[in-house]
């Protein structure tokens, strides 16, 4: 609908324009009607077909564009055929969408054998009419370009296969086989577009695989422009270590992840790990879990680590890092929790034997299904492959505790900055899952005690340092608690001892000679004990002497008191006798005066004198 935006009539003779109110009202009405129709119209959103491949649906925002064609390109052996076939298999088994796989390189029997190793029975799916496999043999040597070339035969054959089972998904592997003997680029582009349009008209979601060119994503450099979605698979070898990565080059009509994502091909098939997109929005638990060592729990506020936190145990070789990890695992298994132990330097049986020497029986927990070891050399494959493999093990086992022993071993597979990136992504992933992670790290003997070669200490919540100190002809272990976020913790150094009954923490000796451990501590403690005993004996002897003096003095006091009482009694007796004598004398004088008939004054005076005396 075209609308004139001029509410007046133009006069081409130079006269001023004359407003036409009738046209103005008409225009306003049409504009309002157009606006209303746009507002009432429901926008069509691009629908997507989920691939069923872990990680791929996440970075594509739900899967591949439904009813459109996607291009999977890459070099030889990068996994193009596997991705295309798994797209069909998951569609048939999980989403009830039958699929057609047209191969130009491998026969149906070969494909059936190849995918049987992954646990897929292609022949059974074919019998159930959920899958059709069609093999078309095209040999470039047998192709001779005469006249115009088209894909009519292929389109008819493909259309029949789609209609025979009501297919919703189609895979063509590989597209170069169709044009390997042709050189006319215009015909190639035209026929490719016609093929993709045919698939779109059929309403099927299609995957087309293509070999990587020298300077383009595909050999002819045309497919990526025609396809609606282009996924590039890369398989590189650096320092004899192979790494697979996936990147979405374009995705018409949809937002998508733009990074390179590691992917893994193993016994379970194709898996993509979009872990680089994980942010810092995980929850923080206040629950505390035991370290497995009572005195270490006491150093951590009496309760242990936070659940879902990250713990770093660093130290030189032989300091007991793995023993601390084993105690943590043993304590978790005793609580009925599941533990996953990634070991890069020791085999499972070797770890079990070693831990038996300190009184820990880990085999018991393996038999109960609470503990699982994943043992592999760090040089087995690249960091990204390690990351994907660890991610998959965590998803399958669903542990509460994860141990990585040691992370420093990964330095043999990549530089330190790449290892730091990989570990940070793994730690973020585990925190998102509320899984407690304990990582051990080997440090150099001449390096700073508060430094890790990978540089990950800042992202760890708790950092324990084990160190060996040489003194008096022996080496002894010390434990330092360098940090523990969100809790009160001890700043004291502890001596770390490994015995038949497990790991123990002891107080170090601090004296004039500094901090003593081992035999020096025991010798100094023995000397201190002897001096203390001698001092105690001196005190007891002094106390006995004082007690004897006290008894002697008390006896003397008793004698003196007895003498005092006797003398006081004699004095009292003399005083009483004197008083009696005076009274008798007074009475005699009074009687004598009365007998002489003396006057009263003389008698009183005599009496008073007697009293005075």
Confidence of residue 21 (pLDDT cuts 50, 70, 90): very low
- CATH (domain of 497): 3.40.50.300
Report d(CA 375, CA 392) in Å as an integer: 14
pLDDT value, residue 24:
36
334 with 258, same domain: the answer is no
155 with 227, same domain: the answer is yes
Tokens of 114: 């190849």
Tell me the per-residue pLDDT of 360-396, one tens digit each, with 9 for 90 and over: 999 999 999 999 999 998 888 777 778 878 888 998 9
pLDDT value, residue 147:
52
Mean pLDDT over 519-534 rounds to 73
Mean pLDDT over 341-353 rounds to 94
Tokens of 562: 């007895």
235 with 145, same domain: the answer is yes
In a domain, 514, yes or no: no
Could you list the beta-strand ranges (E) of 391-443.
401-405, 436-442
Measured in whole angstroms, the distance separating CA 204 from the mean position of its chain's CA atoms is 41
pTM: 0.66
pLDDT value, residue 2:
34
538 with 554, same domain: the answer is yes
In a domain, 611, yes or no: no
pLDDT at 549 over 60: yes
410 with 474, same domain: the answer is yes
Report d(CA 408, CA 414) in Å as an integer: 11
407 with 540, same domain: the answer is no
What is the domain extent for residue 494? 288-507
Point out which residues pair with 556 in neighbouring strands.
none
pLDDT value, residue 600:
52
In a domain, 516, yes or no: no
244 with 318, same domain: the answer is no
Instruction: Please count the structural domains in the chain.
Output: 4
Contacts of range 447-452, beta carbons closer than 8 Å, 24 or more positions apart: 449/480, 450/482, 452/312, 452/314, 452/408
Which of 449, 478, 507 lies at the terminal end of a domain, its last residue? 507
In a domain, 191, yes or no: yes
Tell me the per-residue pLDDT of 251-308, one tens digit each, with 9 for 90 and over: 998 888 888 888 888 777 888 876 554 566 778 899 999 999 999 999 998 889 999 9
- Give φ, ψ of 173 to 5 degrees: -135, 115
- Give φ, ψ of 133 to 5 degrees: -115, 120
Tell me the per-residue pLDDT of 105-148, one tens digit each, with 9 for 90 and over: 888 899 999 899 888 999 999 999 999 999 887 655 555 555 56
In a domain, 65, yes or no: yes
Tell me the per-residue pLDDT of 163-208, one tens digit each, with 9 for 90 and over: 999 999 999 988 877 766 566 667 777 877 888 889 999 999 999 9
Mean pLDDT over 311-330 rounds to 93
333 or 105, which is more confident? Answer: 333
137 with 218, same domain: the answer is yes
273 with 388, same domain: the answer is no
Report d(CA 273, CA 58) in Å as an integer: 9
In a domain, 150, yes or no: yes
In a domain, 283, yes or no: no
pLDDT value, residue 483:
92
398 with 472, same domain: the answer is yes
Mean pLDDT taken over the chain: 81
pLDDT value, residue 338:
96
125 with 161, same domain: the answer is yes
Tell me the per-residue pLDDT of 457-513, one tens digit each, with 9 for 90 and over: 888 999 999 988 877 667 888 899 999 999 989 888 888 888 888 888 887 666 555
Q: How many residues does the chain have?
A: 613
pLDDT value, residue 181:
57
Mean pLDDT over 79-88 rounds to 93
562 with 582, same domain: the answer is yes
pLDDT at 5 over 90: no
């Amino acid at each position: 609908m075209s609308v004139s935006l001029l509410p007046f009539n133009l006069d081409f003779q130079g006269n001023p324009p004359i407003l036409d109110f009738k046209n103005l009202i008409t225009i306003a009405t049409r504009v309002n009607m157009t606006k209303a129709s746009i507002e009432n119209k429901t926008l069509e959103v691009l629908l997507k077909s989920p691939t069923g491949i872990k990680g791929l649906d996440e970075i594509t925002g739900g899967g591949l564009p439904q009813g459109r064609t996607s291009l999977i390109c890459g070099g030889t052996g990068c996994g193009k055929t596997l991705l295309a076939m798994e797209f069909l298999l998951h569609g048939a088994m999980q989403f009830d969408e039958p699929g057609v796989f047209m191969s130009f390189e491998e026969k149906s029997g070969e494909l059936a054998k190849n995918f049987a190793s992954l646990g897929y029975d292609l022949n059974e799916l074919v019998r159930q009419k959920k899958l059709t496999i069609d093999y078309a043999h095209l040999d470039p040597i047998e192709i001779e370009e005469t006249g115009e070339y088209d894909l009519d035969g292929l389109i008819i054959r493909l259309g029949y296969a789609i209609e025979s089972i009501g297919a919703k998904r189609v895979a063509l592997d590989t597209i170069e086989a169709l044009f390997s003997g042709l050189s006319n680029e215009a015909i190639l582009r035209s026929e490719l577009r016609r093929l993709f349009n045919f698939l779109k008209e059929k309403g099927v979601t299609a995957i087309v695989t293509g070999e990587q060119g020298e300077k383009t994503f595909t050999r002819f450099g045309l497919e990526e422009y025609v396809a609606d979605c282009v996924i590039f698979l890369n398989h590189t070898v650096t320092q004899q270590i192979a790494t697979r990565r996936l990147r979405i080059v374009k995705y018409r009509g949809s937002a998508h992840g733009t990074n390179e994502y590691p992917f893994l091909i193993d016994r379970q098939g194709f898996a993509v790990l979009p872990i680089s997109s994980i942010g810092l929005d995980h929850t923080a638990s206040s629950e505390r879990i035991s370290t497995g060592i009572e005195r270490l729990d006491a150093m951590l506020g009496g309760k242990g680590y936070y659940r879902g936190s990250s713990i770093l145990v660093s130290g030189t070789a032989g300091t007991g890092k793995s023993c601390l990890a084993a105690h943590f695992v043993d304590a978790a298994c005793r609580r009925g929790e599941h533990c996953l132990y990634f070991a890069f330097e020791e085999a499972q049986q070797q770890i079990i034997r070693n831990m038996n020497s300190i009184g820990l029986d880990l085999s018991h927990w393996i038999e109960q299904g609470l503990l699982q070891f994943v043992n592999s050399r760090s040089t087995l494959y690249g960091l990204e492959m390690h990351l994907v493999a660890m991610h998959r093990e965590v998803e399958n086992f669903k542990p509460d505790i994860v141990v990585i022993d040691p992370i420093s071993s990964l330095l043999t597979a990549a530089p330190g900055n790449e290892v730091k990136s990989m570990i940070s992504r793994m730690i973020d992933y585990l925190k998102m899952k509320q899984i407690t992670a304990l990582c051990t790290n080997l440090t150099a003997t001449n390096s700073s005690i508060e430094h890790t070669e990978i540089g990950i200490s800042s992202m760890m919540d708790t950092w324990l340092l084990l160190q060996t100190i040489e003194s008096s002809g022996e080496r002894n272990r010390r434990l330092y608690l360098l940090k523990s976020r969100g809790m009160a913790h001890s700043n004291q150094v502890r001596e770390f001892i490994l015995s038949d009954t497990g790991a123990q923490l002891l107080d170090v000796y601090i004296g004039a000679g500094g901090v003593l451990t081992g035999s020096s501590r025991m010798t100094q403690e023995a000397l201190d004990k002897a001096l203390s005993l001698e001092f105690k004996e001196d005190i007891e002897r002094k106390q006995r002497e004082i007690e004897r003096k006290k008894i002697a003095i008390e006896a003397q006091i008793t004698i003196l008191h007895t003498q005092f009482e006797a003398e006081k009694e004699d004095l009292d007796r003399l005083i009483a006798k004197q008083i009696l004598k005076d009274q008798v004398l007074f009475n005699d004088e009074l009687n004598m005066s009365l007998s002489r008939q003396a006057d009263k004054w003389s008698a009183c005076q005599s009496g008073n004198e007697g009293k005075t005396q």
